[in-house]
Chain A
């Protein structure tokens, strides 16, 4: 419950305060957000699997975000940034889908 409240508070803060993101970080923000979404779905599934551990969740969340941003950064340096970010988004999207399928099986039993 407190986690959901945290998510809602974050969205509200982002909408209301309209913070300015530094220009250097800006290209990596969408990828980082998708990676964090992937981590959150994985955490939800782990909770339903009763294997949830906050330490693992924190580590996976941060490492997902960092690795995704790093991959995109590396792609930018190599000149294949847009292709690589597309690949990252595809991979993360597949993972999100599979996690969502597992969650669905848990919650709806189908």
Chain B
């Protein structure tokens, strides 16, 4: 720029070193054809800014090779290579282009185009950033692929759901079955407990009271009574405070009676749970328990109360070695 005004001041005599200063639309300085010819000045315009390392590829925007016949472009003047220091640097050029603003036609046109570019850029960035609009710009084949992916995924999830539902149904029914089995087990345990004498029992039945003022009643007579009751369907029996079960031992010892090594004494009260209509006749049959006891001058009374309670218990004995096997 500092040399821009030199063509005016440059007379034909000092034009030789000032040739690179020819700039802008100046073209060759008029009136000095001989001086211009000295440094082999190119015909259209000497461009001092042409840097020697300028690549040969076409600068875009021009999209045309450097030796274009276009009036603006030109071939790099080899005469300018002798004075590159005079040329403004690219940074200075940029600064000059930015400030001060010049409202020329080219600036306005470029501004309009850049406005369109910025608009498209912002729209595209926003569209690429959001997910729901990502599908809108997709190609049909991509959409088809996405759709089939989704279909596959849906089918997979449906399969999984079906499996899980089947599993749930299975678990529910099996837990129902387990509950039922548990209930039956408890029921059986209660029944067996009544039979084994480990739980108390209550129900209809009879009581047999044997008074023995003379001490004639022995273990055999009690055993007869118990067996008669059992034969008649008694389910739980107790004599005084001793529960009578299958392995109860009846022994005579020192004139007294022992049940399971437990001394019992008169009056003997036999409580039996069972069907009273069966139990009472079984005791009272001719020649039966009651008659033979009375023959031995023991006093016998049979009652049929509303409820008979058998609450004497035997300890639960768990086997030490044997374990249940299915």
Contacts and interface: CB of A to CB of B under 8 A. Distances in A.
Contacts of A44: 61
Contact of B117 (A7, A15, A49): A7
A87 interface: no
B60 A99 contact: yes
B70 interface: yes
Contacts of B62: 42, 46, 49, 51-53, 56, 60
B61 A47 contact: yes
A9 B99 CA distance: 18
B72 A51 contact: yes
Interface residues of A, number: 63
B13 interface: no
Given A14-B121, A27-B139, A48-B90, A3 B114 contact: yes
Contacts of B137: 26-27, 29
A10 to B, nearest CB: 3
B118 A11 contact: yes
Best-surrounded residue of A6, A18, A36, A107 (most CB of chain B within 10 A) = A6
A1 to B, nearest CB: 4
B61 A106 contact: no
A108 B90 CA distance: 7
Contact of B54 (A9, A32, A49, A56): A49
Interface in B146-188: none
Contacts of B60: 38-39, 41-43, 45-46, 60, 95, 99
A7 B114 CA distance: 5
B109 A58 contact: yes
A44 B137 CA distance: 31
Nearest to A76: B139
Contacts of A33: 117, 120-121, 124
Interface in A12-26: 12-15, 18-19, 21, 23, 26
Interface in B30-77: 47, 49-51, 53-55, 57, 59-64, 66, 70, 72-74
B324 interface: no
A45 B124 contact: no
A61 B113 contact: yes
Contacts of B70: 53, 56
Contacts of A1: 97-102, 107
Best-surrounded residue of B57, B110, B142 (most CB of chain A within 10 A) = B110
A36 B116 contact: yes
B113 to A, nearest CB: 5
A21 to B, nearest CB: 6
A46 B59 contact: yes
A3 to B, nearest CB: 4
A57 B110 contact: yes
Contacts of A95: 60
Best-surrounded residue of B50, B114, B127 (most CB of chain A within 10 A) = B114
Contact of A54 (B57, B63, B109): B109
Interface of A: 1-15, 18-19, 21, 23, 26-27, 29-30, 32-33, 36-54, 56-58, 60-61, 76, 79, 81-82, 95, 98-99, 102-103, 105-109
- List 7 A-B pairs, minimum CB-CB distance, nearest first: A42-B60, A10-B118, A14-B122, A6-B111, A106-B90, A54-B106, A46-B61
